[in-house]
Structure formats: C-alpha cells, structure tokens
Amino acid sequence: MTANADLDGDGKLDEREIRLYERKSGTIRQMALASLIALFILGALIFLPIIPDKRIELTADHYSILVFVFGSLVGAYMGVTAWQSKK
C-alpha cells in the first residue's frame, strides 16, 4: 500500500494520502460489485418468459460483449486484490 499511496514520495503516509487511497479502493470495489450485480441481472433477464426468444437472439452479440466486459472487471478486481494482499 505504501508504494502506491505515497504521492509526494517522502516515504511517509499522511492523512490525506491514506484517505485518497481508501477512497480510490472503495470506488474500484463499488465498480466491481456493480458489474457483478449486472451480470446476475443480465443472466436472469435472459431466462424470463416476458422477453421473446427472437429479441434474445437479436441481442445475443451485445449480451456476450457485456458479459465479457463485466466478467473482466470482476476478475481483474479479484486478481489485483489478491496480488496486493501478498505484496
């Protein structure tokens, strides 16, 4: 944490740097959580009977791109979090 959070390069973390680092980490966590929720919602929408099969077939390419992007965001967050905890 110290290498990434030390903005002025003095080797010490002050309150401003700690708050900024925690705020940035929280924002990234919220983005990953929103992506995970969106993945579940998209998955549930596909199987609802109110959406016709024809419409699902027409938007299948868009769904696959969204699932790839949201899954990549969640995977990147989990990977970087695990990597930072071992550092």
* Residue pLDDT tens, the chain, 87 long: 555 656 666 666 778 777 887 888 888 889 999 999 999 998 888 888 888 888 888 888 998 999 999 999 999 999 988 887 786
Question: Residue 43 CB: number of other CB atoms within 10 A?
Answer: 11
Give the domain range for residue 8.
2-86
Q: 11 is written with which tokens? A: 């080797």
Residue 21 neighbours by CB under 8 Å, 6+ apart: 1, 4, 5
Q: What's the total number of domains in the chain?
A: 1
> What pLDDT, on a 0 to 100 scale, did the predictor assign at position 49?
87
Residue 12 DSSP SS3: coil
Residue 26 DSSP SS3: helix
Distance of CA 73 to the CA centre of its chain: 4
> What pLDDT, on a 0 to 100 scale, did the predictor assign at position 70?
92
